[in-house]
Structure 1
Amino acid sequence: MLKRIKKWLGLEMPRPVVPNELWDRIESGLPFLAFLTVSDRLRLRELALDFLADKEFHGAQGLELTDEILLGIALQASLPVLNIGLEAYHGWVGIIVYPGDFVIPRHEVDEAGVVHSYDDEVLGEAWAGGPVLVSWFGGHHPIGVNVVIHEFAHKLDMANGEADGFPALPARMSRRDWAAAFTPAYEKLCAQVDADEMTALDPYASENPGEFFAVASEAFFETPGQLRDAFPAVYDQLKSYYGLDPAAGEAGLRAEPDPHRGAT
């Protein structure tokens, strides 16, 4: 069904209709979408269809791209730009989906000029000006680890250059305020990792400021209350940048009465 979207749009035919049962089944595997308002969830569905019409998907290692995979990735990739717009993803079209983690050959030159080659096992990677590579594990992943959101946060970061943790900010935001929030948070996390302490974010965020932004973005959408408690200034900056407040939605869900409580 979804593979015909571009053809239909090119012929100016009506947008394909995705059954609610299919949306509901896919979204049930993405519980953090419940932090959105009803109107935002409906807007996200529409944006996901626009995303699918704009990008080209390829299954690697024989992976068959089902409607569930395509919609699942599109929903997650569209979430960060729900209030930014798909134009933030301009300049590239390819998304390569692997059936699990995969290996990328690396080559590094040390200070003596010696080239070291090795295989890097990864879950995803975003290439500047090129495609996004993501692994797919049937839509399931540990809470707070979201490969799709992570890699598409890198794409937002790369829109104004390298992935350095400073994406292009809207006019309402200040680069100085961004740095004042992110720099001490990154340094704090690095110190916690060095001291082998428990961290509110995946320790991988200590790799560099670009990874900190991507990991913090994962947490912003998946475990927003935890991020807000640990790094409130970072949460506030991401709230302004993404134009969403998922922690409020999460708190609202937790405050809802349990319909089964007291039942006999």
Structure 2
Amino acid sequence: MWDWLFGKGASEHAVQKMQARLDQDMWARLHGAMPFLHGLSANEEAALQHASAWFLASKTWDGANGLQVTDEMALCVAMQASLPILYLGEKWYEGWTGIVIYPSAFVTRHKTHDEAGVSQCHSNVTLGETWQGGPLILSWEAAQPHDPRDLQAMHSNVVIHEFAHKLDMAHGPADGMPFLGGTGIEPAHWMQTLESAWQQLVHAVQQLQSGRPADSSSRAGHRLFNHLPMDPYGATNKIEFFAVSSEVFFVNPAPLAQWNPEWYRLLSLFYRQDPLQRLQSKATDSVAAAAP
């Protein structure tokens, strides 16, 4: 289904050369700083390195607003982006080549047309943006590993979020449903579950907003919203719901699995991974290792 797309990706020979050049000390340092990568089996670690090397060899890297993209920055993004396709395969990221990284949040401008045909230009401050068939844009401030004491940042992931949009777009315009071939998931069941879970989040956000004047981005707002399974931005529409669900699926899966087990199950079937089981097993092993 991807044969007609440009940006086929690096050859296996180029991937092997890139993998041989990977700085293992840098890899270990970045891996240690991203807890959601912990608990992978030896085979999964090897697959993550291969996918990351493919990513580095296949994509172009450009800094914006004077930012110089270093090898460590590129590897950091590649490692995070490769986790969702660990079992899907690199072909899901073919068809485009560019990664653009800004130092921090950046302004995007989009033109829309209303029903009368009048065009309007809208500006938004954002941390990431994905274009159909085009580049993926990130804020390095948001994409880099965060202090584990920053719980808000540790429970979100702009890289996985934006690459979930790329997965959604791999079969056509984004609609909240990526290509489900080989998963055993009926598209109608996916969309029904997606709709139900999204409406569940919309209702929860509306209930909170109706009883509080504070903005959700404020400290008071965070305290009020911290029992939600994901950022309230996921209530925007079903496209954003899939992307926000995907980021918490990988980095903070327990609240999502408890909040809507069936939606978690479908994400697990699509990604061919169970991060909750993986991270719980890692935590159990750590406790056992620390016991006298």
TM-score over 0.5 for the pair? yes
Quickly say closer, same or farther: Cα 1:259–1:105, change in 2 above 3 A.
same
Q: Deviations over 1:166-186 (max 9, x none)?
A: 111123322122123211110
Structure 2: distance between partners of 1:191 and 1:27: 37
- Please state how far the C-alpha of 1:261 moved relative to its aligned partner: 5.9
Q: What secondary structure is seen at the aligned counterpart in 2 of 1:196? A: helix
Q: What secondary structure is seen at the aligned counterpart in 2 of 1:227? A: helix
Structure 1: distance between partners of 2:264 and 2:12: 40
> Counterpart amino acid of 1:154?
H
- Please state how far the C-alpha of 1:23 moved relative to its aligned partner: 0.7
Q: Superposed, which structure 2 residues align to 1:109-188 within 5 Å?
A: 109-137=113-141, 139-141=144-146, 142-171=153-182, 172-188=184-200
Q: Deviations over 1:75-100 (max 9, x none)?
A: 11111111111111111111111111
- Please state how far the C-alpha of 1:258 moved relative to its aligned partner: 6.0
Aligned residues: 257
Q: What secondary structure is seen at the aligned counterpart in 1 of 2:38? A: helix
- Please state how far the C-alpha of 1:230 moved relative to its aligned partner: 1.1
Structure 2: distance between partners of 1:234 and 1:160: 21
Contact 1:163–1:210 (CA<8 Å) still a contact in 2?
yes
Quickly say closer, same or farther: Cα 1:14–1:223, change in 2 above 3 A.
closer
1:34 aligns with 38
- Please state how far the C-alpha of 1:131 moved relative to its aligned partner: 0.6
Structure 2: distance between partners of 1:230 and 1:38: 31
2:212 aligns with none
Q: Deviations over 1:202-261 (max 9, x none)?
A: 100011101000000000100011211112111111111111111001111222326556
Structure 2: distance between partners of 1:114 and 1:181: 36
Q: Deviations over 1:147-180 (max 9, x none)?
A: 1111110001011222110111123322122123
2:82 aligns with 78
> Counterpart amino acid of 1:127?
W
Quickly say closer, same or farther: Cα 1:35–1:224, change in 2 above 3 A.
farther
- Please state how far the C-alpha of 1:15 moved relative to its aligned partner: 4.7
1:206 aligns with 235
Give 5+ residue unaligned stretches, structure 1: 1-5
1:248 aligns with 277
> Counterpart amino acid of 1:38?
A
Contact 2:18–2:56 (CA<8 Å) still a contact in 1?
no
1:3 aligns with none
Matched, 1:18 2:22: yes
Contact 1:35–1:247 (CA<8 Å) still a contact in 2?
no
Structure 2: distance between partners of 1:120 and 1:14: 37
Structure 2: distance between partners of 1:14 and 1:94: 18
Contact 1:52–1:74 (CA<8 Å) still a contact in 2?
yes
Structure 2: distance between partners of 1:168 and 1:15: 29
Contact 1:32–1:221 (CA<8 Å) still a contact in 2?
yes
Contact 1:29–1:139 (CA<8 Å) still a contact in 2?
no
Q: What secondary structure is seen at the aligned counterpart in 2 of 1:210? A: helix
1:228 aligns with 257
Q: Which moved more, 1:233-242 or 1:28-37?
A: 28-37
Q: What secondary structure is seen at the aligned counterpart in 1 of 2:99? A: strand
Matched, 1:191 2:186: no
Contact 1:170–1:241 (CA<8 Å) still a contact in 2?
no
Q: What secondary structure is seen at the aligned counterpart in 2 of 1:84? A: coil
Give 5+ residue unaligned stretches, structure 2: 1-9, 147-152, 210-224
> Counterpart amino acid of 1:143?
M
- Please state how far the C-alpha of 1:8 moved relative to its aligned partner: 11
1:67 aligns with 71
Quickly say closer, same or farther: Cα 1:186–1:35, change in 2 above 3 A.
farther
